[in-house]
Every structure is written in structure tokens, then in C-alpha cells.
Structure 1
Amino acid sequence: MAKTNPGRFFEDYRLGEVIEHAAPRTVGEGERALYHALYPARHALYSSDVFAAQSGLEGSPIDDLAAFHVVFGKTVPDISLNAVANLGYAEGRWLRPVYPGDTLRAVSEVIGLKQNSNGKTGVVWVRTTGLNQMDEPVLSYVRWVMVRKSDLDAPAPDTVVPDLKSTLAADDLAIPEGLDFSGYDFALAGEPHRWGDYEVGEVIDHVDGVTIEEAEHMIATRLWQNTAKVHFDATFRPDGQRLIYGGHVISMARALSFNGLANAQMIVGLNGGAHANPCFAGLTVKAWSVVLDKAETPAPGVGAIRLRLVATSDGSVGKLKGADGKYLPGVLLDLDYWALMPV
């Protein structure tokens, strides 16, 4: 009996299947330190226990994307070990903060299957929920991945493409209990711009850039216990290059967005996302954002802002797709999310 795990292939998934992922992970202060070493992350709520307490929380949570990566990493051996690419995200909701000392685990349900016309790959949709040690959900999201077939003669499953929300409504967002920005310290946060200072349609060039290093992206991917072969094994792709984990690009772009959006403190919703073009070591990531929407929340002093975050490898700003409707070659990431900001 084989003891090793070759990972699942497309024909191994069944609609409605529920997968409990190994292994639970206790996160600590070291998680925050290494996250801030890998990315230029400076949002005050995730840097200071005092700032977080003054904002009504019990302390500084683990960065929202760090929590996402931990949960995401749990799913990789079962969902995307043999993936060709991670294609997109939808209906992402951060349901409660994750604090140092919390233990996270993940459960996924297969909600969609579609074999591609080449008969060699297929797309798998899963809804993943991250839970803490009290079995409280901390986040939930849908993602879909293209996965190789092992047995090319395996029959194609019935095609089921899930009907997903294109955008979360403001009422769908979970505001952390106790969050209060009515006494927000803009000087300590780093910028004076509040919710009311942003206009729908406004484009923000985040100016700064970071060149992706081979070693750093592999450290990051190991930190999240992401074992996908495309990120480590140079023999896995025909071009011999290691593909940068998409979450690494997301975190880099989010950290770069501090310059212009320092007060967009907490990510609470993920409406959609696409890794538009592959990213490899040596590329320099820059970012820009456009304000898509704004909404009030019931929390004192807290507004919600919907942003499109675009990461590029060519430094272009405001350009996303060509006349053919396809992403321009310099676009690496197109992420649509909701964040919380002082009004």
C-alpha cells in the first residue's frame, strides 16, 4: 500500500464532497514578524496592540491576509497540489479577527466541476471555511483552480458551474465586535485621508515597487505550508521557472497600497480576484487602486470602501485590459475587495 500522497487529480473530485484539511496551525507573534519582514506591511491596526485596543479590539490581530494564507495553505495538498493555475476568488468574507495563539484549520466543499475541452485538465470550484480552536468560522471564500487529469480516459463529470455573487453587499460584511474608529489617531496611522476624502472612480498610484526575489517567495510559501509543486519544483513547468504563489503577489500589492490607503485598515470582503498573468522572480511589482464603491456601517466611526487593487510588472497605472477584453501582459493581479476605514 502506497504511503505517499501524489495529490488529487481532476477525476478524483466529486461534487458535494467535503474535505477536512490537515494540519491545524497555531499562529503566533512570529507569524506577524515574518509577514512584516516579507512585505512592506505597515497598517497600524496590525502593528500595534495599543492602536488596536484604542480601536476597540482586544489587541492587534494577525494581518488579515496572513490569516487567509494560513487557511489557504491548509487546502493546497488536497485541492491544488497538481494545479496548473489558481484562477479566481469570490464571496470571500473575514468573519472575525485572528489573534496570536489562535489555532486555525480548514474545511472545503467541492461546489463545481468542469472538464476543459482539451480533455487533459479541468476546473474545480471549492468553498473553503477557516475555523479557530472554538470551531468559530474566521473566514470563508470560494476559489477555482485548473487541475491536471492523471487518467485521460476518465469520463468527464457533469458540468456544474456555481452561481456566485459578483459583489458582496455592504450588509454581507462582518464588522469585528467592538470596532470603533471614533477616536482614531490619524497621525499614528500615517496618513490624514479618511473615508469621506475618497471619491468613487478615484485612481490612486501607490508609487512604490518591490522586486520579487526567488528565495523570499519560497520562504513565504513555506510559511503558509503551501506545497504546490509549481512554486518549488523547477522541473514541474516546461519553462523551468518557479511560479510565484499568487498570495505572495496579493500581500505585496496590499502592502504597497499603504502609500495612499494607509487608513484602509481591515480587509473584510473579497468580491473577486484574478491572477491575470504569471509572476516570476526578477519582476518588479507595483500597484494602483481605484475606488469602486463606499458604504456606511453600524460601527462607530467606521466606513466601508470597495477597492480594485491592481498589481503590475510594468508600472502602468489605470490600464487593465486591451481592446480584446483580455488582461494586458503587464497586469499580474486584479483584486476587488472591501476594507474598513475611519469616516
Structure 2
Amino acid sequence: MGPVSTTELASLTTLRLGGPARRLVEATTAEAVVAAVRAADAAGEPLLVLGGGSNVVVDDAGWPGAVVHVATTGMRTEHRPDGTVLLTVEAGEDWDGVVAATVAEGLGGLECLSGIPGRTGATPVQNVGAYGVEIADLLVDVDLYDRRADAVREHVPAADLGLGYRTSTLKGRDDAVVLRVRFGLPGDGASAPIRYPELAAALGVEPGERVPAAAARDAVLALRRGKGMVLDAEDRDTWSAGSFFTNPIVDPERAPEGAPRWPAGERVKLPAAWLIQHAGFARGHAGPGGRVALSGKHVLALTHRGGGSAEDLLVLAREVRDAVRATFGVDLVPEPVLVGCRL
């Protein structure tokens, strides 16, 4: 099984929280990822597959088995006869780097997903989305390692992944490991239609219009920076897992009076930030000892201010969740994956 490691998982997460890994494997090729997972399975070790660490809360006790850190790289574009472009990306590629590269190449489609931390392999798991665009809009297929079958499954269609609001059939399970991802891009330099009102206002266009992809990327990054959602080691407001709670979807009659809402089929989606603010929380609200706090820029991000623990963060998360439930009767669900801990 290799030597015992004292690697603190805090060093591999954007929250900078989490205890030691018993054993850490840095996998730089898809083949190495598969080999490392097979080795852990053969040894009967608990397995944690970790990418950019941007959407996880790792327990203070750490992980009692093998951690496979996916650090694979590589991306390529294929121009198809219909004018669209097939983009293939290895799972370990930095996501914002991928977006930046496509925009620089004159390709639109991904620009509204700029500034999101993490690795590309995690994007279909979470069905990552922002500013009116989500991975489901662009995903073609994925290659997976199926642990149960001990086999690599290539070109698993997006339609088979159960993509929904910040979820998929891959989320919350450990028997399928994403190795690479393919996206279909329009093939021109224009952005996806600007659907999000805040972004449309920042760009000075009407919702539904398209703009140069580079302009949309710049606007998205500016908006995210204003909310502390672009990683910056010097800015503790970015020591977070991004939005900690998903926007709840409820029956219309359960929506609080005065709350903004958006259609979600026969139900409505409520902004979690509005619920948190109106349950009595202000930006910067401190948790235990001030070691954790709501972001000073956006109440939906729970941040680590330094010297804290995962349990400190969970105490703050429970305080927020319980207050929203007591005030509005609405349950907030955490967006990050909780590793070895519970809310």
C-alpha cells in the first residue's frame, strides 16, 4: 500500500481545511489514475478521488485510506463538418484554464463558466453552472473508470448521466471516476446567449443577445471577483468552497412572501442568499472564534479566516441552515461534498 503519508488534505482544498491522508497518490495520466484506484481496491483501502479540492469539506480527522489526486493534463479541439467544435479535456485540467484557452482560441460557449475553481473532471459530476449556463448545455460525453466492472467505459453520453440542478448520477458515489470530458462548442467567437439579468446589465445588452466571448468572460470574472468567488490566496473571502448551499426548489405555495423566484418546471427556485440574509445574517457574520465566517462580499459563501477547523465551518453552516428552516420552513442543502463529516 505504500508508506503512510502525513499530507494534510487542507493543502489540497480551497477551504484550506482537512486532516491528513493516510496515503496520497499523484496521478498524472488517465492510466495512472486507473492503476492507483485498482491498487487501492486490491488492498481494500478506503478511496477518495480528489481534483482541485474546490467543492469539498474534508473532516478534521482526514482520510483513513488512499487519496488519488487527479493531476492529468491535455486538451484538444476537433473542428467538425457542421462548423461546431468538439473539445476533449483530461479530467485533471484546471477548469478556468480550459475556459481561458477556448476564449483565446476564438471559441465561445464556456465563457459564462469563467472563474470557477476546480478541475475539469468535476464539472459533469456537479453539473457546474453559473450566469445562465451549465455543463449540461455543452457536455457531449465522458470517459469513466467503472470500479465495479473494473473497466474503462468510453464515450458515456451526457444523456446517461442524469444531469440536473447541480447534480448528476455521478455525484455522491465513488464507483465511477471521470477520466476525460468532451464538450460541443458552437465554433464561433460569440458567447452563449446572455440569459442572466445581472450579466446582461453588466454588458449593457438585452437578455438573449450574444456578445464576443472575451467580453463576456471579462464581465463574468469582474462579477465573481466582486463576490469573492475568484481564488486569491491573499483574500480570505476566497478561502471557501464557493456557494455553500444550493438554491432550494419548492412548491409555489411554500415560497416566502417577497422572495425572488424563478420557474423550475411546476415548482420555483428560490435564491439561497436571499433566504440567508432575511433570516438575519449579514455579510461577514462570524462563526466559532471568528476562525470562519460568511464572506464579507456574499452571504452564500462560508469562508475560512485562518486557524479554523472543518468542524468550525460545519457549526456555522448548521447555524445558517437551522435559522433559515426556523424562519421560512425551507431546508437548505449543502453544495460541497462532505468527506467524512456531516451537516
Normalised to the residue count of structure 2, the TM-score between the two structures is 0.26
Query: Of Structure 1 and Structure 2, which has the larger fraction of its residues in helix?
Result: 2
Normalised to the residue count of structure 1, the TM-score between the two structures is 0.26
